[in-house]
A and B are shown apart, each in its own frame.
Chain A
Amino acid sequence: MHSTHRPLLPRAAAGAAAAVLAAGLAACSTGGDDDGTLNILIDNSEATGSLMQALVDAYTEAHPDVEIELEIRPGGTEGDNIVKTRLQTGDMPDLFFYNSGSLLQALNPSQMLTDLSGETYLDSVTDTFKDGVTSGDAVHGVPVGQAIGGGVLYNLAAYEELGLEVPTTWDEFMANNQAILDAGTAAPVIQTYGTESAWTSQLFVLADNYNVLAAEPDWADAYTANEAHFADTPAALAGFEHLQEVAEAGYLNEDFASLTYNEGLAALVAGEGVHYPILTNALTEIEAVDPEGVDQLGFFGLPGDAPAEAGVTTWLPGALYLPQTNEDPGPAQDFLAFVASTEGCDAQTAGVSVIGPYFIDGCTVPSDVPPAVAQLQAYFDAGLTAPALEFLSPVKGPALEQITVEVGSGIRSAADAAALYDEDVKKQAQQLGLEGW
């Protein structure tokens, strides 16, 4: 039996398999994207989407022969993976939008991105921003969007009702918290450690950088060189301690462990909580959900122990980058020049509500902004700002949000947490190949 069909079957099966495969491949000549349009990869946040759409609309109106397509990718760690994968495989579109600061450094920018430092349009970009997109001598990005402040958003009505003043020191802030707690109608401080919201727990530490730099001007360089650490620098440790103090004093909302970022913002607007340490781009989210809610909030920088002048820690917006794999960078360069001009920021102002000052010389912010934005602007006008640590040093550990959640939940002490975080950044610094680690 076997001998009769043994030679036949394998050949027939192989032939049939090949036929099926060929049928599957028949329609494979589509694809490829080099059809003269300018493709830009952006993340899927509403803020980026509407900013980029406003820029693209204004640009194509002035240049009707150019066609621009926006391609959307997810944000967060998944987005980081996509950007890295597409850079590595040479599949990055003509331009892409990505974070500045330490996340940019993780892309290996000097090998992947075009150096723009020789371009004249970069002269109008402020030096503060250029520092955040520089690797070695090369400058890589053009800013999209406005400066973001990290500090405390607070409910204006509650402050008025209790007759409170905006605090300039940590002790005043704690006194305000006590007054709110005594009044008994709202939680003094909102914390949100729920689903996908653990990152909000880092603000007490990250937004304290202005105060750290006020006490230790060389902190960022010493930190990058492995000479100073959170655990052995009292000014830096203060961020962890403040979070512990707030948690131990019972100032947090009861449901801090399960509340999410969105719910936290809603609670702040509704007056169920009075202070929420967060980034000011939260205003964009609030405005999208509840346009009138934005006017009920104020903003102040996270108070320090005793700085002469209270200031605010700022975050740089993301930027557009030109990958080295772009073989015809002319149209992309022209678009970058437009983004870096005053026409560019006017287009952004027209398309999206402004939440902070621009990083391009000559750009102005309209006068009728919400109160929190005006308060942030006041810090910039007075020059009382300092960048967050992630824009001054490439060292940022991946586990900070888990560690600060532990501190805020009363599981770990501040000193212990700072020491653990110093351990956490060690691996990342070694991966980056920094000297001294």
Chain B
Amino acid sequence: MKRTKGVASGLIAIVLSAVVFLVPFAFIVLTASKTRGEAALREFSLPSEWAIWENFLAVVQARDYMLLAAFVNSTILTVASIVLMVVLAAMVGYVMQRRPNRWTPLANALVLAGLIIPPAVVPTIWVLQGLGLFRTLPGLVLIEVAYGLSFCVLLFRAFVATIPREVDEAAVIDGAGPVRLFFQVILPLLRSVIWTVVIVQAVAVFNDFQNPLYFLPGDDHATVQLTLYNFRSQYTTQWNLLFMDILLITVPPLIMYAFFNRQIVAGLTSGAVKG
């Protein structure tokens, strides 16, 4: 009796998640396969004429193969921002948790300010222009790091608190210097929270629209999210190409998920239990 109940609720859960996740995805695929006139109706139906290959070519070739350059830019942006965020936030979180002194409250206030104070576009561009970083990918990487760092520092700081201090002491007694202590002893212990940060921030940076739009203008520098504007405008929208673009942009994160499925789930759950 109990068992059939479990099977039934399991089935309901599977059906529900299929409806919630697969139906929108099916809508994207179907619309991406339609001709322009048919896609403009935005109906959930099979296309009367399959144009998936034509749409694929049109999207990839649009504006001089902008999408391909955008994928390169987005990859560099995401990887570089996340490496910087993880290393810097882990260091800051570790120091703030392990060695509080009279500057710690100030540092704390600054971290919180980073979460609370909204970014302003024109002054930030002014600073970037002064540094010679405006319109450059490294400039945008620093922007993403600056906006994401506070959140990461809080996560790392909370997690370091769960690592026993005795681990540090044992390492120091065994002769580890400060650099070795951090990179070889502490950093590996932070693995699960690092996964959490990587997942959360990779999604945030890869999907970011506003910052690339304002801080990295120019077709050469476009990121994938900005290519959506090739097909969508105030008065006219090519829905079939827009959805094809969405489909192509959704694929890389999906592939990543398929490969790193185990680590992602392990990272999220272990972080949840310990944090």
Partner of A262, one of B99, B141, B172, B237: B237
Residues of B within 8 A of A76 (CB): 234
Within 8 A of B (CB), among A267-289: 281-282, 284-285, 288-289
Give the 8 A-B residue pairs with the shortest CB-CB distance, closest first. A75-B234, A28-B138, A31-B136, A45-B233, A9-B178, A31-B135, A12-B178, A44-B233
Residue tally, chain A, CB below 8 Å to B: 54
Which residues of B from 214 to 250 have beta carbons under 8 Å from A? 214, 217-219, 221, 229-230, 232-238
Q: Is the CB of A266 within 8 A of B41?
A: yes
Q: Mark B102-137, 1 if CB is under 8 A from A, else 0.
A: 000000000000000000011001100100111111
CA A25 to CA B177, docked complex, whole Å: 28
Could you say which of A84-92, A153-161, A234-242 contacts chain B?
A: A84-92
Q: Complex: how many Å from CA A37 to CA B99?
A: 56
Chain B residues near A91 (CB, 8 Å)?
A: 125, 134-135, 217
**Extra pairs beyond A72-B230, A74-B233, A82-B213 (6, CB < 8 Å):** A20-B88, A21-B84, A28-B132, A33-B218, A46-B236, A266-B40
Question: Is the contact region of chain A dominated by helix, strand, or loop, or is it mixed?
Answer: helix
Identify the closest chain B residue to A71 (Cβ).
Answer: B219
Q: Does A334 contact B (CB under 8 A)?
A: no
Hey, what's the 0/1 contact readout for A1-35 against B, CB within 8 Å counting as 1? 11011101110110011001100111110111100
Q: Which residues of A contact B129 (CB under 8 A)?
A: 89
- Would you call A10 and B235 a contact (CB within 8 A)? no
Closest approach, in angstroms, between the C-beta of A221 and any C-beta of chain B? 30
Chain A positions within 8 Å of B235 at CB level:
45, 47, 75, 261, 281-282, 284-285
Least CB separation from A261: chain B residue = B235
Closest to A291 in B: B37
Residues 87-122 of A contacting B (Cβ, < 8 Å): 88-89, 91
CA distance A46 to B179 in the complex (A): 56
- Could you list 28 examples of A-B contacts with CB < 8 Å? A1-B172, A8-B178, A9-B178, A12-B179, A13-B95, A13-B178, A17-B88, A20-B84, A20-B87, A24-B138, A26-B138, A31-B134, A31-B135, A31-B136, A43-B233, A45-B233, A46-B233, A72-B230, A74-B213, A78-B213, A82-B213, A85-B122, A89-B129, A89-B134, A91-B134, A261-B235, A285-B235, A289-B37
CB neighbours of A44 from chain B (8 A): 229-230, 232-233
A85 touches B121 (CB 8 A): yes
Does A290 make an interface contact (CB < 8 A)? yes
A47 touching B126 in the complex, CB below 8 Å, given contacts A71-B219, A289-B36? no
State how many angstroms separate the Cβ of A400 from the closest Cβ of chain B: 16
Cβ contacts under 8 Å, B63 to chain A? 72
CB within 8 Å of B: which A36-84 residues: 43-47, 69, 71-76, 78-79, 82
Residues of A within 8 A of B179 (CB): 12, 16
List B residues 122-174 near A (Cβ within 8 Å): 122, 125-126, 129, 132-139, 141-142, 169, 172
Minimal Cβ-Cβ distance residue in A for B66: A72
Q: Which of A6, A43, A69, A72 contacts B99 (CB 8 A)?
A: A6
**Does B56 sit within 8 A of A, measured CB to CB?**
no
Q: How far is the CA of A84 from the CA of B242 in the complex (A)?
A: 27
Find the B residue at minimum CB distance from A28.
B138
Which B residues lie within 8 Å of A75 (CB)? 233-235
Q: Which residues of A lie under 8 Å from residue B141 when comparing CB positions? A: 24
In angstroms, how far is the closest chain A Cβ from the Cβ of B95?
6
Contact B139 A28 (CB under 8 A): yes
Binding site for A on B (CB under 8 A): 36-37, 40-41, 63, 80, 83-84, 87-88, 91, 95, 99, 121-122, 125-126, 129, 132-139, 141-142, 169, 172, 177-179, 181-182, 213-214, 217-219, 221, 229-230, 232-238
CB of A186 to closest CB in B, whole Å: 18
Q: Is the CB of A13 within 8 A of B182?
A: yes
Chain B residue at minimum C-beta to C-beta distance from A293? B37
Complex CA distance for A281 and B217, rounded to whole angstroms: 28
A16 and B36: CB pair below 8 A? no
Complex Cα distance A20/B91, Å? 12
A285 pairs with B236, CB closer than 8 A: yes
Contact A71 B217 (CB under 8 A): yes
How distant is the Cα of A10 from the Cα of B139 in the complex, in angstroms? Answer: 26
> Is A10's CB under 8 angstroms from B95's CB?
yes
Could you say which residues of chain B place their CB within 8 Å of the CB of A8? 177-178
How long is the Cα–Cα vector from A24 to B238 in the complex, in angstroms? 38
Say yes or no: B91 contacts A13, CB within 8 Å.
yes
Which residues on B sit within 8 Å (CB–CB) of A4? Answer: 172
In the complex formed, the residue of B with least CB distance to A33 is B218
A202 to chain B, nearest CB (A): 14
Per-position contact with B for A172-216: 1 when CB-CB < 8 Å, else 0?
A: 000000000000000000000000000000000000000000000
Q: Inside 8 A of A79's CB, which chain B residues have their CB?
A: 234
What CA separation (Å) do A92 and B274 show in the bound complex?
A: 51
Residues of chain B contacted by A30 (CB below 8 angstroms): 136-137
Q: How far is the CA of A10 from the CA of B178 in the complex (A)?
A: 9
